[in-house]
């Protein structure tokens, strides 16, 4: 599987939420920009359309399922 690089840049809020990764979430294959706005909940599950938060949420759910 080839990783996908999203051309979008992280938002100002995304830069603060993922400050150690310069506004991106990297799942080991692809890099996703956080495009959250200040009004998004923290943590966000990606309902706002943010690919980074959606993938963090999905990865978290996978981990929870593995622990059951």
Q: What is the pLDDT of residues 1-30, one digit of tens each?
A: 455 555 589 999 999 999 999 999 999 999
Closest CA to 10 of 45, 26, 2: 26
For residues 22 and 1, give the distance between their C-alpha atoms in angstroms, rounded to a whole number. Answer: 24
Q: Where are the alpha helices (DSSP H) in 1-68?
A: 12-17, 51-67
pLDDT value, residue 41: 93
Left (φ > 0), alpha (ψ -120 to 50) or beta: where does 29 sit? alpha
Residue 14: Cβ within 10 Å count = 27
pTM of the predicted model over 0.75? yes
Please give the residue range of the domain that contains residue 23: 12-67
pLDDT digits (tens, 9 = 90+) for 42-60: 889 999 999 999 999 999 9
Question: Is residue 17 one of the residues assigned to a domain?
Answer: yes
Q: For residue 23, is it within any domain?
A: yes
In a domain, 2, yes or no: no
């Amino acid at each position: 599987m080839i990783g996908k690089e999203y051309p979008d840049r992280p938002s100002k809020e995304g830069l603060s939420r993922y400050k150690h990764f310069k506004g991106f979430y990297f799942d080991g294959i692809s890099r996703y920009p956080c495009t959250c706005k200040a009004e998004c909940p923290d943590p966000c599950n990606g309902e706002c359309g943010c690919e980074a938060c959606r993938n963090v949420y999905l990865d978290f759910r996978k981990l929870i399922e593995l622990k059951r």
